[in-house]
Amino acid sequence: MLLMTKVFVAVDIGASSGRLMLAKLENNQLQLQEVHRFKNGFTYSQGHDRWNIDNLINEILIGLKKIKQAGYDQVTLGIDTWAVDYVLVDKKGNRLQDPVAYRDARTQGSIKKLTSQLSKEYIYKKTGIQFLDFNTLYQLYVEDKNLLARTDKIMMIPDYLGYILTGKAVTEVTNASTTQMLSLREGLFDDHLLEKVNVKSSQFPKLVEAGTILGQIKGSLVEQYNLPATEVITVATHDTASAVVGTPGLGQRWAYLSSGTWSLIGTELNVPENGKQAFEQNYTNEWGAYGTYRFLKNIMGLWIIQNIKHELDDRYSFAELAELAGQEVPFQQLINVNDERFQNPKNMIKELQAYCRETRQKVPQTPGELAMAVYANLALYYANELEVLDHILNYRIDTLNIVGGGSNVTLLNQLTATLSDVDVYAGPSKATAIGNIIVQMITKGEILNVYLGRQLIANSFPIKKFVPQKDQSTQVLKHYQRFIAEH
Ligand SMILES: Nc1ncnc2c1ncn2[C@@H]1O[C@H](COP(=O)(O)OP(=O)(O)OP(=O)(O)O)[C@@H](O)[C@H]1O
Ligand SMILES: C[C@H](O)[C@H](O)[C@@H](O)C(=O)CO
Ligand SMILES: [Mg+2]
């Protein structure tokens, strides 16, 4: 009897785009195929920036239908998305509103308000999670109280999508940790924090680890949309958690940089690091798959490039912008790319130019100058954070694995290697989807563990190495560190 090759489907939805990837294990290599891709983004409606969750559900169904049409009758599937955002569901299982996007202005100033009642030190000791004003904790703090009163369940975005497909509701821990309400010690939502935001722990579906089998897609959906028989597995549903699983982990003391809309730079720990230095540097201990912790820092990332591209009426592809940047001289201006003013400005190009004027620096004008300004300062920020990481962990990181769409930017990879003085391994760009697949394969017994999964990744996908170039950039880094300390 012909052994059926198991087919795995990753639904990976980031802030800027989503995709359904189909994977098979053949000749000890992971074969990956992008079956369906779609744009994602938020729009302003009913007083807030919101995600179009019905559109995401529809795109998933379209992608699954394509898989069935390609002849696959039986698959497993995992869903990962961005963090912190949630859907409010009433007792009948109906959505109370389209989810508010984390970049919405509603949480501005919320950290200050909430931490006047509960100290930052208390919250960080409890949760080990970075202070970002859009964390779920602050979103619930400012949430419509009438809506919360009608809420039976609060579901994180990927859990909600799994619920729509299967009718089963869970709260997967890697994403639950980004709420800044999960207690490191108890491994449960902290009642003291929930009380501050008028929420009860019973309003969250049960907590489950990555790799839990959720259930079959509802027969009614399979029939109505002509879908393959699909078993849904709750993977590491925070996309960054999946990206970390999908990182090849090359190098002795390696760190990762998940480079997409956000740049998430950090390392994988087996115990959380929520001490004084980590608190002062606002590092986070997001939960990872299989009992690990993602000790990392959020950096504004390629969100800035995405906005520049859009504001240039999408006349240039990302690759063309990177090429134009490569024709410019780096470090013409120093920019603290993590400045909150770049989180959701009305016009990113104008915001960048205003910043350079205010700091009396050369103002980037052309697409190449703008892109180089962003890439060069992202690389400087990464290099600075690697030094911070060395200091907190008290050991020297020797290798950086850059994954995600940003790993396609050769200029950025090379600048990062040189400024950080570490070897950079770039790729795979689809690490998030790959990590999603790896957890499914472990759950289904196709591979034993993440360590072997990472070996499979290293053997299956092109990974480029960048070594530090000896030049004068180390002085630039020192100058940059002084600059961002003052700005
Ligand atoms: N060929 C390329 N050349 C230059 N930049 C690229 C290229 N491909 C992707 N990128 C960069 O990668 C970014 C998208 O990365 P990625 O696909 O990992 O993000 P995403 O999954 O869509 O969103 P999120 O980061 O929220 O998960 C783009 O914004 C772009 O800046
Ligand atoms: C808001 C989160 O920090 C953000 O989603 C980031 O963690 C992420 O998931 C990037 O894709
Ligand atoms: Mg992504």
Q: Which residues does a 6 A CB cutoff place in the pocket of ligand 1?
A: 14-17, 82, 239, 260-262, 302, 305-306, 318-319, 322, 404-406, 408-409
Mean pLDDT along residues 358-367: 98
Q: Is the pLDDT of residue 5 over 70?
A: no
Rounded-to-integer distance, Cα 408 and Cα 430, Å: 11
Q: Is the CB of 302 under 6 A from ligand 2?
A: no
Give percent of the chain with pLDDT exceeding 90. Answer: 97
Q: What is the mean pLDDT of the chain?
A: 96
Closest ligand to C-alpha of residue 177 is: 2
**Catalytic-role residue among 49, 239, 398, 421:** 239
Q: What pLDDT score does 2 carry?
A: 45
State the pLDDT at residue 414.
97
pLDDT at 344 over 50: yes
Residues flanking ion ligand 3, Cβ below 5 Å: 14, 239, 260, 432
* Mean pLDDT, rounded, for 234-260: 98
pLDDT tens column, 219-233: 999 999 999 999 999
Cβ 89 vs Cβ 83: under 8 Å: no
pLDDT digits (tens, 9 = 90+) for 442-460: 999 999 999 999 999 999 9
Cα 241 to averaged position of ligand 2 atoms, centre (Å): 10
pLDDT category of residue 1 using cuts at 50, 70 and 90: very low
Q: Residue 41 above 90 pLDDT?
A: yes
Arithmetic mean of pLDDT, 4-33: 93
Q: Which atom of ligand 1 is nearest to the CA of 240?
A: 27
Q: Output the pLDDT for position 471.
A: 77
Nearest CA to ligand 2 atom 11: 82
Distance 333 CA to ligand 3 centre (A): 29
Query: Does residue 89's CB lie within 6 angstroms of at least one atom of ligand 2?
Result: no
What integer pLDDT is reported at residue 6 of this predicted model?
80
24, 137, 423 from 113: Cα distances, Å: 50, 12, 43
Question: Is the pLDDT assigned to residue 3 strictly greater than 80?
Answer: no
84 Ramachandran zone, left/alpha/beta (phi>0; psi -120 to 50): left
Q: How confident is the model at residue 474 (pLDDT cuts 50, 70, 90)?
A: confident
Half-sphere exposure of 262 (CA within 13 A, CB side): 22
Q: What is the mean pLDDT of residues 112-131?
A: 96
Query: The tokens of 145 are what?
Result: 């109280």
Q: What is the DSSP letter of 238?
A: B
What is the 306 CA–ligand 1 centroid distance (Å)?
A: 8
> How far, in Å, from the CA of 426 to the mean position of ligand 2?
20
Tokens standing for residue 58: 């529809």
Ligand 1 atom nearest to CA at 321? 4
User: With 0-12 CB in 10 A as exposed, 13-18 as middle and 19+ as buried, what is 92?
Assistant: exposed
18 is in an annotated binding site: yes
Beta-bridge partner residues of 213:
233
Convert 327-365 to b/e letters by CB count within 10 Å (16 or more is b).
Answer: ebebbebbbbbbeeebbbbeebbebbbebbeeeeeeebe
- pLDDT tens, 57-70? 999 999 999 999 99
pLDDT at residue 137 tops 60: yes
Nearest CA-CA partner of 147 in 84, 88, 85, 98: 88
Please indicate whether residue 104, judged by its CB atom, sits closer than 6 Å to ligand 2: no
Task: Write out pLDDT tens, residues 140-165.
Answer: 999 999 999 999 999 999 999 999 99
What are the DSSP E strand ranges found in 413-455? Answer: 423-426
Rounded mean pLDDT of 194-217? 97
For residue 306, say whether it is annotated as part of any ligand binding site. Answer: yes
Q: What is the pLDDT of residues 279-289, one digit of tens each?
A: 999 999 999 99
Residues 34-46 have a mean pLDDT of 97
Catalytic status, residue 239: yes
Interhelix angle for 157-166 vs 53-69, to 10°? 50
How far apart, in whole angstroms, are the C-alpha atoms of residue 402 and residue 464? 10
pTM of the full structure: 0.97
Mutate to test the pocket of ligand 1, among 429, 436, 464 (most ligand atoms within 8 A of CB): 429
**Ligand 2 center to residue 280 CA distance, Å?**
21
DSSP E strand boundaries for 245-353:
254-259, 263-269, 284-287, 293-299
- In which element (H, E) is residue 48 found? strand 48-51
The model's confidence at residue 405, banded by pLDDT at 50, 70 and 90, is very high
Q: Please state which CATH number belongs to domain 246-427+463-487.
A: 3.30.420.40
Ranges in the chain annotated CATH 3.30.420.40: 7-234, 246-427+463-487
- In this predicted structure, what is the pLDDT of residue 56? 98
Q: What fold, for 7-234?
A: Nucleotidyltransferase; domain 5 (3.30.420)
User: Please, which pLDDT band fits residue 475 given cuts at 50, 70 and 90?
Assistant: confident
